[in-house]
Structure 1
């Protein structure tokens, strides 16, 4: 997920993050105590005595994944500043342009299960590069669509290109998370936080990059530039990223292969996986249920201009990016994931209550700094809630008899992405519906209440499962 919100400079940022990470990715536990450690992958192994720094193999892998995540984040957001205007210029209603954005999450929701099935068959490294190349080609093609004269044909082609972009990025995210869990068995959350930080940075840079390139060269320039960078990155990854192949380590009593639904049934049979999926869902909705509806509210209630609101988003996204690195390192040293997830969800709910502010906060009146404070608090705690969840899901699956291999890791990655996409689809629809009926403050209050309920469930989970999994 990017964040769920958020290139010469981008390569420099990636290098800086990798140099910083190599000093902090120290192993918190031994191979014998980690159910995933033996599945670290093929090729260069982690030296038991000198694993305080990233190996050359790990640096190449994390560099390729981070750069791809940065570009994928830009892909999601690059058209925000100018596409609605282009659609309106053609006489198309706002509903159509909004649907072009919404179809991205829906297409990802449908694609994630397929990618989870494909990953072990075609190879996660190959799937990642094919997904990146697919997103690059469709992004480039999107820049040519204004040559279509008929408005309905134009919007139809936009839907098709946007859906294919989503399929490509779904392949990328499925493969990337599986690779991180597989190749960074002792510090997966730190590695995940670096990848997610770059994806969040892409979401933050996307609108600015898109708007600037649109002003310089017109509609096609942002898409040609980004699509070209994605294609170059895909080609570079053929050298940069070493192959990550299947290395099967069956858990006790686990069948080698089963029918397509057997793995899903085994996953669903673990009650803890339902809790993890609830966390992923609420984190996705923390963002998508509010952000599409916040602009009309702050414009009317606070007189905040779109440019000022953009600054709010930029500041909060920057806080998310910085905090994610801390959460990743911290979560690698906490065996019971829910000890971190529960307070992050609770504090995030408080941030959401501050944004309108909520009617529950009697005496507080809407003011711009309170809104920005709420957004910052929400963003800073989001990473702590969801970054460690996928690793926890893999550990739960292995403990419940699923094979300890790349196929399981890709499957869990696909489930993680699908649940997040459900939040991205349901969030804007449900948030908009409640806002229309009862107003934005009530919608924010309801969302915070959902977060509190899941946080309470995590507190219970922290107590019940405190000794159920090894560190």
Structure 2
């Protein structure tokens, strides 16, 4: 079809004054939770949408057409790409495209400014909710690590072997590995707030129950009771940690990486301070006091969470189009992120049973050995929020992950040192390597959750609790897997081939990850920034 002369509007007609008028179907606006701000979407196309007035009936398609594309302004930023016929005033079309490019640039700067200013819009209740999530992750890691200074000795007095004590310790991460994805899958049915509150309460009750274990007789009764309560405690821990990531994604969609960084700061603080807190309370009050104090704090946190964590509208039905947990595991990017989380957890947890023995030749005091542990965990805790802020502001997830994994490679090669080098181990070099590892672990770990959310969104997953729950479940399960592999297989490797060769193998695994991530990064850039699409990425279809 084409316009006839009589169909053309008169030059004096007000409706014809805007040559850029287009006809767009009315469709609801759906805000993506992964955008730095809603303004990212609306600022680009506002002028064209306001100009979308009615075209006279019988009008031909000899007017500009539109195609939605993804702008380079960050995930979820939409713009309108114009396509005019060659016969229609090319000079004016070129000028109009220049105007569109300027508007796109303005929208990108507006998006970044909105992301930076988002924290200024948070209310006091929002900040208290952030504090609640942070305290939950702090208690989570304290519950795991507080028994380290005194439980092994108590267990051996009850007749347990070193291997049985290791099973009780390792069961915590093993339970989280199996149950985190299950809890994430059904979070939209249970409800994020209910799962969060139940998880904290259940962890508190089991922590209090653990304090009564010293009243049991020695032998098999003590072992099975310890193992059962430890597994139950891990189940509660998996529930509220998995739901805390979902709640943070729902409450603060433009600042996911920053909130994750804050939560990881407190998680790292719990890992670092947990043994100290447990040891001090045990020294002053015996076996029961650490568990009673921790349990009471968790039960109190349950009551506070009812007021600080808001209720969300959750879906009752499963996704019927294959976009559940199994569909998510078919996405290649998810497996790359799972790989990243696992090797990060391995790199951190490997030193728990091995570093003290590696430092024994230096004749250090127990306090100095503890400070060496603090060097890695403390720097990780201090730098975790920084990576979140950088990600939310600059969208540099892949670059940070490459940096983090590369720094981990150097740390692992030097801390041994690796047998491929011709120098002896040095205490100063070990300290520097642990500090580098603390920086590297945050850079590798913090971007993964944001990348997982972006990946599933690109594959057409809804902005729903089921999506967030599945991602969080896979995420927590991957970390638990690495935290279980690190101390178990790592200690076995040190026993068989030595500390230096074991750290070399971990470094080699990180080399493989850097190569895989770099290849995928380059391939993805060529696909979405090729000659046909230039700076625009087609909007994925659900």
* TM beyond 0.5: yes
Question: Aligned pair in 2 of structure 1 residues 392, 451: CA closer, same or farther (>3 Å)?
Answer: same
Q: 1:431 aligns with which of 490, 494, 500?
A: 490
Question: Aligned pair in 2 of structure 1 residues 119, 361: CA closer, same or farther (>3 Å)?
Answer: same
Structure 1 residue 379 corresponds to structure 2 residue 444: no
Structure 1 residue 237 corresponds to structure 2 residue 305: yes
Aligned to 1:445: 504
Aligned to 1:251: none
Alpha-carbon contact 2:375-2:438 (below 8 Å) kept: no
Q: Distance in 2 between matches of 1:198 and 1:297?
A: 28
Structure 1 residue 460 corresponds to structure 2 residue 519: yes
Structure 1 residue 213 corresponds to structure 2 residue 281: yes
Q: Distance in 2 between matches of 1:34 and 1:137?
A: 44
Tell me which of the two structures has the higher relative contact order, counting C-alpha pairs closer than 8 angstroms and 6 or more residues apart: 1
Aligned to 2:90: none
* Pairing 1:6-405 to 2, within 5 Å after superposition: 27=36, 30-32=39-41, 51-53=118-120, 54-246=122-314, 257-258=319-320, 263-299=324-360, 301-362=361-422, 364-405=423-464
Q: Distance in 1 between matches of 2:296 and 2:137?
A: 15
After superposition, the C-alpha distances for 1:269-311 in whole angstroms (9 at most, x for unaligned) are: 2211111111111111111233322222221x33334332111
Alpha-carbon contact 1:28-1:187 (below 8 Å) kept: no
Alpha-carbon contact 1:316-1:375 (below 8 Å) kept: yes
Task: Report the TM-score, using the length of structure 1 for normalisation.
Answer: 0.85
Question: Aligned pair in 2 of structure 1 residues 218, 327: CA closer, same or farther (>3 Å)?
Answer: same
Provide structure 2 residue ranges, at least 5 long, that are not aligned to the other structure. Answer: 1-34, 42-72, 79-113, 529-536
Alignment length (residue pairs):
428
Alpha-carbon contact 1:28-1:332 (below 8 Å) kept: no
Q: Distance in 2 between matches of 1:206 and 1:407?
A: 33
Q: Distance in 2 between matches of 1:36 and 1:289?
A: 38
Q: Distance in 2 between matches of 1:463 and 1:441?
A: 33
Alpha-carbon contact 2:118-2:254 (below 8 Å) kept: no
Q: Distance in 1 between matches of 2:238 and 2:223?
A: 22
After superposition, the C-alpha distances for 1:241-277 in whole angstroms (9 at most, x for unaligned) are: 22233279xxxxxx97228x75233212221111111
Alpha-carbon contact 2:185-2:325 (below 8 Å) kept: no
After superposition, the C-alpha distances for 1:14-35 in whole angstroms (9 at most, x for unaligned) are: xxxxxxxxxxxx9477452776
Q: CA RMSD in A?
A: 2.4
Task: Report the TM-score, using the length of structure 2 for normalisation.
Answer: 0.75
Alpha-carbon contact 1:295-1:306 (below 8 Å) kept: no
Q: Distance in 2 between matches of 1:185 and 1:428?
A: 35
Provide structure 1 residue ranges, at least 5 long, that are not aligned to the other structure. Answer: 1-25, 39-46, 249-254
Q: Distance in 1 between matches of 2:313 and 2:364?
A: 52
Alpha-carbon contact 1:344-1:381 (below 8 Å) kept: yes
Q: Distance in 1 between matches of 2:496 and 2:141?
A: 32
Question: Aligned pair in 2 of structure 1 residues 49, 98: CA closer, same or farther (>3 Å)?
Answer: closer
Q: Distance in 1 between matches of 2:538 and 2:411?
A: 32
